[in-house]
Amino acid sequence: ASTATGPGRRLLLSTPIFYANGPPHIGHLYSALLADALYRHRALRGAGPGRLSTGTDEHGLKIQQAAAAAGTAPPELCERVSGLFREALAQAAVSFTDFIRTSEPRHQRAVQHFWGALQDGGALYKGSYEGWYCTPEECFLPESQLAEHRDAQGRPYKVSLETGHQVHWTKEENYMFRLSAFRDPLRMWLQDNPKAISPDPFYQRVLHWLEEDLPDLSVSRERSRLQWGIPVPSDPTQTIYVWVDALVNYLSVVGYPERHGEWWPAAHHVVGKDILKFHAIYWPALLMAAGLAPPERILVHSHWTVRGQKMSKSLGNVIDPLSCMGQYTLDGFRYFLLRQGVPERDCDYYNEKVVKVVNSELADALGGLLNRSTALSINPSNTYPCFSESCFPKVWDHSQTNGMGRASAEDYELVTSVASLPLQVASYFEGFQIYKALECIALCVRQTNGFFQRHRPWKLDRKDPGEQLWLDTIIHVTLECLRVFGTLLQPVIPHTADRLLSRLAVEPEERGLSGLTFLPRYSGKPCPFEGRQLGPDTGVLFHRLETTRQRQ
């Protein structure tokens, strides 16, 4: 059932579980919003049972050290930070069905069972391991990924090339995972599933990694060094490596080891590019070694910079998502991140950009169009008016419109654009290009504003029967366009889309994507909305944002 396609198929969408050593920032929120939009879009398509999992990763040396520095115990620190993540995700309207904490008993039981499966399959052995360990990244790094710096006294020390974090030489006896044995199975999996990792540059990066040295992986730490973690079954001197522990969360949420078969491997993991190797090499190899299939897809996104600089506590430029939602509204901030975030490359954040995008596309273009087309001066009956086929006759060639009605070639182009929009949007969501879906919608909103402006319905004489027919048709076409936009925007700006659709008197059961048709009267079919009384006027759809002068 899990590998079937079409209606009725189950799918788990997941965010990474977030490390509980500090409060959430917009990078965390971006991961969650991408997964949430995919989950909501799939639900609107009626594609079958779905789940959206998220949570917090609560073990490891970094948390042990952060708790000690804060003068608290790891469980108390995790309880507090996990609460911050749950609150931020709920405030951002992330519709998660599962929130997993790695400190929960159900997860610990899953991890210990998974370890047993690795051991039973002969994938683990005990060995002495030494190398450069990076505590903030919780992993060993090869020399090729290090750079040498000097401290204030001129003493040399080594740092991670990618993150700049200091590394320390570590030698200990650990359990090792035979990662080197999985190079060919991983290659075959990727060759057989070219869509397993998206976008394509990240797929190519993983293939390149598989050409390089693939040493066995240390999968435990000495208990004397790391007490805050899940102990290795049958060896109390060792703690399971935090990344093995964390990755198993995707199985814990679907009921591993008893009930996971109903869902696994129909899982799509949304992850940041910094944790690609863990998800695209270590995780599939561990799953294969435990007798399970790799996840169906790994959807990878890049990072957010702030005015061209990497976000960091030391620079004081970490963006707090809760204050952003207060400043730009929940839907404004969701829209900005999903509209401007391009998974293939890092994206830059600054206050003026948010204000410009949200004001231009939500307040002015979308909100203005709804306001103008439902104004009592234009539509005094406050209804979804009738469409006139004589004013807007169906034609096969847009250039041959002269003398056939009131509609111009540009109007026919608008109808073609909006009619093709639902399939285009679905294709971009499927391809993990939500920003392109929003670009297409924004373009069609602009086209519809052009249509409304071009025909100046406020200048038409309502007393003339011919003019009245054309006026009603202009409003009918505009409201039909708005209904399509509102329906398609539900996964991204749920509250604003709800207000728009309620204003158009679109009932909850009429908001799905599977039955979405546009302008049926143009094709000679009945329109269920024609003649319907519009919903109550709830005022401005989206209030313009003010630019605030603040240090980002």
Q: State the DSSP string of 370-395.
A: HHHHH-TTT-TT-B-PPP-TTTS---
Per-residue pLDDT of 29-76, as tens digits, reads 999 999 999 999 999 999 889 999 999 999 988 898 889 999 999 999
Better-predicted residue by pLDDT, 452 or 170 = 452
Q: Which residues pair with 13 in a beta bridge?
A: 52, 268
Which pLDDT score is estimated for 398?
A: 61
Domain 11-301 in CATH 3.30.70.260 = no
Per-residue pLDDT of 415-424, as tens digits, reads 999 999 999 9
List the chain domain ranges.
Answer: 11-301, 357-533
Six-digit token pair at 105? 């008993």
Which pLDDT score is estimated for 531?
A: 93
Rounded CA-CA distance 147/162 in Å is 9
Do 11-301 and 357-533 show the same overall fold?
no
Rounded CA-CA distance 137/131 in Å is 14
Contacts of 74 by beta carbon, 8 Å cutoff, 6+ apart: 58, 63, 64, 67, 228
Six-digit token pair at 356? 């410009």
Which pLDDT score is estimated for 133?
A: 87
According to DSSP, residue 477 is labeled: H
Rounded CA-CA distance 178/123 in Å is 5
Which pLDDT score is estimated for 145?
A: 87
Question: Band of the pLDDT at 401, cuts 50, 70, 90?
Answer: low
Q: Is the pLDDT of residue 140 over 90?
A: no
Which range among 29-33, 124-128, 404-408 shows the weakest confidence by mean pLDDT? Answer: 404-408
Rounded CA-CA distance 335/344 in Å is 18
Which pLDDT score is estimated for 496?
A: 97
Q: Is the pLDDT of residue 4 over 60?
A: no
352 touches 359 (CB < 8 A) = no
Question: Band of the pLDDT at 403, cuts 50, 70, 90?
Answer: low
User: b/e string for 289-322 if b means 16 or more Cβ within 10 A?
Assistant: bbebebbbbbbbbbbbebeeeebeeeeebbbebb
Domain 357-533 in CATH 1.10.730.10 = yes
Question: Band of the pLDDT at 469, cuts 50, 70, 90?
Answer: very high
pTM: 0.92
Question: Band of the pLDDT at 399, cuts 50, 70, 90?
Answer: low
With tokens 């003493």, the residue in question is: 155
Q: Is the pLDDT of residue 449 over 80?
A: yes
Closest C-alpha among 483, 473, 52 to residue 254 = 52
Question: Band of the pLDDT at 548, cuts 50, 70, 90?
Answer: low
